[in-house]
Amino acid sequence: MKKRLFIALPLTIRGHVDINEWVTDKAINENEISWVKPENWHLTLHFLGETNVSDIPALKRMIDEVCREFSVCEAEMKGMGSFANLKLPKVLWLGFNGVQSVISAQKIMADKLSGLGFVVETRLFKPHLTVGRIKRLGNVKALNSLLNKYKNSFFAKVQFDRIVLFESILTPQGPVYKEIHTAYLTGHL
């Protein structure tokens, strides 16, 4: 049996990040955008995809090991951008400043995952929070205006205090994320 898994850092947001303006803006939403619900916001460290359930115990041990090596950290949620590019954006994201320890944890985890036989992403890790997935472009000008307006904006302070192994269950209403295993970083209260 297999489960669709990923490893992520849930966010504790210090303050309020309101994307309702974007979600309800008529011009922006001439583009078909699937907005990520704030309760599903997280920073993905590794997407594992379809994974044998027999691999889950080793993944839990690995996550526990990594958590013992890193402390709770705070960062700034700052800047907005898109993947793939401004002419053909596919993903809208918010960026982070002050996440060097997150980058280090992701790298160590990549090495450990490789040791467990997992294929890991080889592209440079860019910590981000996906806020929307663009299904179809309808008003690129409005989308680029949004990106330019918020490209350097400060949104909130965030704290990362745990690493979670999630199962992603795809439904017609959007993905449902189920926590399989949670391990707290050193210094968690």
The values of phi and psi at residue 112, to 5°, are -70, -40
pLDDT-derived band at 38 (thresholds 50, 70, 90) equals: confident
The strand pairing partners of 78, in sequence order, are 154
The strand pairing partners of 181, in sequence order, are 165
Predicted TM-score (pTM) above 0.85: yes
How many angstroms separate the CA atoms of 28 and 32, rounded?
A: 9
Which pLDDT belongs to residue 86? Answer: 67
The domain spans of the chain are 2-184
Q: Find the mean pLDDT for residues 87-100.
A: 91
Q: Find the mean pLDDT for residues 8-20.
A: 86
Q: Find the mean pLDDT for residues 90-111.
A: 95
pLDDT in tens, 119-162: 999 889 999 999 999 999 999 999 999 999 999 999 999 999 99
The CA-based angle 136-139-142, given to 5 degrees, is: 125
The number of residues making up the chain comes to: 189
How many angstroms separate the CA atoms of 42 and 6, rounded?
A: 11
The strand pairing partners of 132, in sequence order, are 35, 92
- Choose the CATH number for 2-184 among 3.90.1140.10, 3.30.300.90, 3.30.2320.50, 3.40.50.1000: 3.90.1140.10
